């Protein structure tokens, strides 16, 4: 009896794995089709100067406009993309689309810094600094209007190679920020070693800021540390005015969150933030 049960659960386990594999393969082929059909879009979320709410930039965030399911958020498909053969193609599409948009805004007289999220595959293949340089060249975008967000887990890659790569990217004039700071593998010593322009405080610390004194302590000391090191600090996930005010009182310069604006298509961003008379503050 015990044996039968064990064999039974073994079968269930196996079919669960098979199901998962099938799901992944289905998603992968759907994603490949999505690339062909141009179903990906970039949304842009405003980043503001907290002291006066002035627009300084936008984070480009990928969306998949699924023919049946509607907009699918990156959490649902980027993990698969990042471990598939499509990774590089999609990463290049993101980088190119964001640069073109930033250049269009620049040409219309708005210096909106556009931040892109780096994919892990972009560190493995080829020369990222070289493709960034080529893209700046092709679009004519002012380098300081491009920002690259990297999560701390890039430090799991060959450290010397990564350091050299980011140094070259910064020499182009492109800014590099640590994303989701405080949630990953980085130790404080990396802040010294890694050429960095700024930190983004993860929204898991910002969310409970007003209610949780531990979160407040972590955010407060991250802001202090950033300032001491001459880094820009951006708080993400600001959902209400009280949190924004508290961040200002702690000396945080920039922020992003639903309180200021959700990620939205470029045209909506134009209308809401760049309509005549609402020129972006010079971020360059």
Residues within the interface to ligand C2E (CB under 6 A): 45, 61-62, 73-75, 78, 94, 117, 119, 149, 179-180, 203, 236-239, 256-258, 263
Of 28 and 41, the one with the shorter C-beta distance to Mg ion is: 41
Q: Among ligand C2E, Mg ion, none, what does residue 263 contact (CB within 5–8 Å per kind)?
A: ligand C2E
- Sole binder of Mg ion in the list 106, 147, 149, 270 (CB under 5 A): 149
Tell the smallest beta-carbon distance from residue 104 to Mg ion (Å).
21
Q: Among ligand C2E, Mg ion, none, what does residue 255 contact (CB within 5–8 Å per kind)?
A: none
Encoded one letter per residue, x for contact with Mg ion by CB under 5 A and - for no contact, window 190-229 reads: ----------x-----------------------------
- Sole binder of Mg ion in the list 179, 253, 254, 270 (CB under 5 A): 179
Residue 34 tokens read as 């999505």
Rounded CA-CA distance 50/54 in Å is 7
Q: Among Mg ion, ligand C2E, none, what does residue 261 contact (CB within 5–8 Å per kind)?
A: none
Pair 201, 233: CB distance under 8 Å: yes
Of 40-48, 153-161, 190-198, 231-239, which segment contacts Mg ion by CB under 5 A? 231-239
Residues that bind Mg ion (CB under 5 A): 117, 149, 179-180, 200, 236
């Amino acid at each position: 009896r015990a044996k039968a049960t064990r064999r039974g659960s073994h079968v269930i386990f196996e079919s669960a794995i098979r199901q998962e594999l099938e799901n992944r393969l289905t998603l992968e082929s759907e994603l490949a089709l999505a690339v062909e059909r141009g179903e990906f879009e970039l949304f842009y979320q405003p980043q503001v100067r907290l002291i006066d709410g002035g627009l300084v930039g936008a984070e480009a965030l990928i969306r998949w406009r699924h023919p049946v399911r509607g907009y699918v958020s990156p959490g649902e498909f980027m993990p698969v993309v990042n471990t598939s053969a499509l990774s590089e193609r999609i990463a290049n599409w993101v980088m190119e689309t964001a640069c073109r948009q930033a250049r269009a805004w620049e040409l219309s007289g708005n210096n909106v810094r556009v931040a892109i999220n780096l994919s892990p595959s972009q560190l493995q293949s080829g020369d990222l600094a070289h493709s960034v340089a080529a893209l700046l060249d092709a679009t004519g975008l002012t380098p300081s209007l491009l920002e690259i967000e990297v999560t701390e887990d890039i430090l799991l890659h060959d450290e010397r190679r990564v350091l050299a790569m980011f140094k070259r990217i910064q020499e182009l004039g492109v800014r590099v920020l640590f994303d989701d700071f405080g949630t990953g593998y980085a130790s404080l010593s990396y802040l010294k070693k890694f050429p960095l322009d700024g930190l983004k405080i993860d929204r898991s610390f910002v969310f409970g800021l007003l209610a949780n004194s531990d979160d407040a302590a972590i955010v407060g000391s991250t802001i202090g540390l950033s300032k001491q090191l001459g880094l820009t600090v951006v708080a993400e996930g600001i959902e209400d005015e009280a949190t924004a005010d508290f961040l200002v009182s702690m000396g945080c310069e920039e922020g992003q969150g639903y309180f200021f604006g959700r990620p939205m298509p470029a045209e909506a961003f134009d209308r809401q933030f760049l309509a005549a008379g609402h020129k972006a503050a010079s971020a360059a």
